[in-house]
Chains A and B, each alone.
Chain A
Amino acid sequence: MTDRLLTWTLGAATLMVASLIAIIAAFLLNESLGMLNRVELGRFFTDSGWSPTMSRFNILPMIVASVLLMAGAVIVAAPLAIFTAVFLRFYAPSPVIDIGRRIIEVLAAMPSVVYGLWGLVVLVPIIAAWQQPGASLMAGILVLSLMIFPTITIVVHSGLAAMPRHYIEASQALAMSRAYMVRQVVLPAVRASIAAGITLGAARAIGETMAVMMVTGNIVAVPGDLFDPVRALTSNIALEMAYALGDHRGALYISSLLLLSIVILLVLINEFIVSNKLEH
């Protein structure tokens, strides 16, 4: 009897969360469809610019900016995070392990507006001294990598901690050096955790709004180099939603739908990597 009750309670909770996602997706689709009936999909990529009040809906520069910000942040943060996780698990003396983990947990939980503030006040002027204007793709990538670094580190570290101890014993008994063991046995054995960490990090990077808005300059243009200002899809929605009406509003819904699709795509890629045996 209690077992059935528990099954129903757990099932109901799961169903509620799952249907919430479906409801949000359906809402976005519904809001976007009206717009898509009036405006051809291709125009979102080929219009002469982003002036939604004048019926010009090119969101391509913002897609490019968002993807570059995400990719840049992952490229900077992922190796650092994996190194840190391996260091904390296999190399660090025990007092360092405890302190290190606490710091990373705090970093992971820090509000994004704090990262944004730091980026705006400290990082942007430094970049500006190097190359104007400072608020740029580069500033966005650096702030985002700082934000997703702890996320990836925590996921990879818990993968390392959960790895069966007998892999280590077997490696040691086979006269492997610690470096060889980490490279050839440990990292391949936890590749699912690494993929999951990177996916979570990438999803956080592409979804981040506040910190990105504070440091990237928010100019709608495809960046020519790392020091050009950009506007991310997320920032665009946050900046314009308050006053957007009609088709303008519709275009922002389409942007949201696009963000959701990118995140779903990331999760699918992760699934593919994990399920696919990456044996040579």
Chain B
Amino acid sequence: MDRITEATSYIQEQDSSSGNICLCTESLCLSYGTRAALENVNLRIPSRAVTAIIGPSGSGKSSFLCCLNRMTDLCCSTTIEGSVRLGEHDIHRDLGKNPIALRRRVGMVFQHPNPFPFSIWKNLALPLKHHGVRNKQELSSVIEQALRRVGLWEEVGDRLRDSALTLSGGQQQRLCIARALVLEPEVLLMDEPCSSLDPLSTKCIETLIGQLKNSYTIVVVTHDLAQARRVADHVALFWNADGVGRLIEQGPAARVFQHPEHELTTSYLEGQL
């Protein structure tokens, strides 16, 4: 355990100098009921870059992601200690009881594509209408823009009234990304966005991530080390130590992949664990 703490503090020193930090967590602990899921996570997520969260199953990667937009609120038995800071704000204390304002700034894409069982148009129009865009022309132009950004306009632009459920898995996932982007969030959280997609769709989404990072801060959880190597600018490795998820190493992707500081990282990257 000492090694873990040592590595964490070393990394903090090393990374504090790099770029603008968009999101950071301090001593973040999460538990479901009495079961601890995350302990003492201090992660710094740089702006306008892709941070990949890697690690084995059960290391708390997805739970961590859910802390960042307070999706953890959906389970009533969760307790969170420590803090998550988005820019100047502590998302639990400063943004109050209602997480709506936070979720406008921090969008999320899930492991399985989850379009609503409505038309493509309505999927994108619903969040826009809720946040005040009522003018039909404005809706049309924002929706077209969102679909173009994820490369769907050429494929579905002429059938926006069709049910979103008629799209292929990869198209559905890109629609979900477009839907998350129509609210112009600052951060996009992606929880294993390609794990249920075929290689072609995966490549498409990865290319998209590469384009989006110029405008958004992206945090992507992935099981796939090769994917992390392809898309990530920064990497954080989570580990399950004694049943609790911990962050054991973080840093620029090139550094972590080539010169890991922690023994566990070395073994994990070499596929020995």
Contact = CB atoms under 8 A, between A and B. Distances in A.
B33 interface: no
Contacts of B117: 167, 189
B178 to A, nearest CB: 12
Contacts, number: 68
B126 interface: yes
Size category of the binding interface on chain B = 20 to 34
B259 interface: no
A169 B114 contact: yes
A175 interface: yes
A164 B74 CA distance: 15
B100 A175 contact: yes
A166 interface: yes
Contact of A279 (B115, B122, B127): B122
Interface in B76-114: 99-104, 107-108, 110, 112, 114
A166 B113 CA distance: 9
Contact of A174 (B102, B119, B163, B183): B183
A166 B179 contact: no
Between A168, A174, A279, A280, the greatest number of chain B beta carbons within 10 A of the residue's beta carbon is seen for: A174
Contact of A185 (B101, B108, B116, B176): B116
Interface in A159-190: 164, 166-170, 172-177, 180, 184-185, 188-189
Interface string A242-280: 000000000000000000000000000000000001011
Interface of A: 164, 166-170, 172-177, 180, 184-185, 188-189, 277, 279-280
Interface of B: 69, 71, 74, 99-104, 107-108, 110, 112, 114-119, 122, 126-127, 129-131, 161, 163, 176, 179-180, 183
18 contacts: A167-B114, A167-B117, A169-B114, A170-B110, A170-B115, A170-B176, A173-B108, A173-B110, A174-B107, A174-B126, A174-B179, A175-B99, A175-B100, A177-B100, A184-B129, A189-B117, A277-B163, A279-B119
Given A170-B116, A172-B74, A174-B179, 18 more contacts: A164-B114, A166-B110, A168-B74, A169-B110, A169-B114, A170-B110, A170-B114, A170-B179, A173-B71, A173-B108, A174-B126, A174-B127, A174-B180, A175-B100, A175-B130, A176-B100, A189-B116, A279-B119
